[in-house]
Amino acid sequence: MSFIAEQLSYTYPGTTKPVLDAVSLTVHVGDTLGIVGESGSGKSTLARCLCGLLQPDAGRISLHGAPLSLRTAADRKAYYRAVQMVFQDPDLSLPRHLAIGIPLLDAARLRWTAADERRRQVDALLKELALPADVLKRRPRELSGGQRQRVAVARALLVSPAVLILDEPTSALDMVLRQDLLALLRSVRRSRGMAQIYISHDLDLIAQVADAVCVLHEGRIIEAGSKDAVLNHPKHDYTKRLLATVPTHDPAKPKILAHRNLR
């Protein structure tokens, strides 16, 4: 059972250079795929195509063998329930003018019909994410960046998607909150059999969470494989250069071995 993208291409309207060029990837249920690449390589564009926010110019996306389509309203609803995304800019995940409780309880409505049960589930998740219950009454701008990031994760998790895409999910978090968030994401991945895609230029984060890694460069996947193969035995010069920019990454003493017991 897996989430598969085949030969995705995308060019932004009004431009000529493709931002994605025949990108293919597979994530199995319960696994984590890390997508790395320098700024501007197309990571967020790929994420937007994978979650159905952008319609690729070419290519196919399927879940458990069935194509995901954006053609009808019913298709789009099914897509939304199957694939959720936490945006790099948390402002994009949450409507600016609404109190946070509204999108959160709306997301919970997809799974729980009784209002008191919805409220209980939302409160429990906020607690797990170390967010005060009164955030529900506040608007996004009345939260810190780190709180907004966790609220965006909460909203996506309430839908309980089969695939969760996280674009730089820990960039606004301190070390403790980051570890807590990663632990929560790991636990839902296991308990709900979710596939997760982490997009980041933080290779330490990818080393910690990913089973497999894809390297995106100028809109193409130039290297893909297990985390160990890509991060410890990279074949492509570009991947080697990318790894060389990480001060803490010492290929002789792979950091990922130290992280293995965390999974």
Q: Where on the chain is the footprint of Mg ion (CB under 5 A)? A: 43-44, 88
Per-residue contact flags (x/-) with ligand ATP for residues 117 to 146, judged by CB under 6 A? ------------------------------
Stretch touching ligand ATP by CB under 6 A, among 23-31, 35-43, 147-155, 220-228:
35-43
Report if residue 35 touches ligand ATP, rule: CB under 6 A: no
How far, in Å, CA of 223 to CA of 78, rounded?
Answer: 31
From candidates 8, 19, 157, 165, binder to ligand ATP by CB under 6 A: 19
Per-residue contact flags (x/-) with ligand ATP for residues 73 to 112, judged by CB under 6 A? ---------------x------------------------
Which residues between 188 and 207 bind ligand ATP (CB under 6 A)? 201
Q: Determine the longest span between alpha carbons in the chain, in angstroms.
A: 55
CA torsion, points 60, 162, 50, 71, in degrees to nearest 10? 60
Report if residue 16 touches ligand ATP, rule: CB under 6 A: no
Long-range CB contact pairs, 253-259, < 8 A, 24+? 254/228, 255/204, 255/207, 256/207, 256/208, 256/227, 256/228, 256/231, 256/232, 259/207, 259/208
Are the C-beta atoms of residues 9 and 57 closer than 8 Å to each other?
yes
Stretch touching ligand ATP by CB under 6 A, among 25-33, 41-49, 50-58, 142-150:
41-49
**Least distance in Å: CB of 231 to ligand ATP?**
18
From candidates 18, 34, 37, 90, binder to ligand ATP by CB under 6 A: 37
Tokens of 147: 């709180």
Tokens of 217: 């460069």
Coil, strand or helix at 199: strand
Give the residue with the Cβ less far from Mg ion, 37 or 52: 37
Report if residue 56 touches ligand ATP, rule: CB under 6 A: no
**Least distance in Å: CB of 20 to ligand ATP?**
8
From candidates 31, 32, 33, 45, binder to ligand ATP by CB under 6 A: 45
Report if residue 149 touches ligand ATP, rule: CB under 6 A: no
Are the C-beta atoms of residues 131 and 150 closer than 8 Å to each other?
yes
**Least distance in Å: CB of 127 to Mg ion?**
30
Distance of CA 79 to CAs 15, 98, 167, Å?
A: 27, 24, 18
Closest CA to 211 of 227, 196, 195: 227
Report if residue 239 touches ligand ATP, rule: CB under 6 A: no
Are the C-beta atoms of residues 160 and 192 closer than 8 Å to each other?
yes
- Site of interaction with ligand ATP (CB under 6 A): 12, 15, 19, 37, 39-45, 88, 201
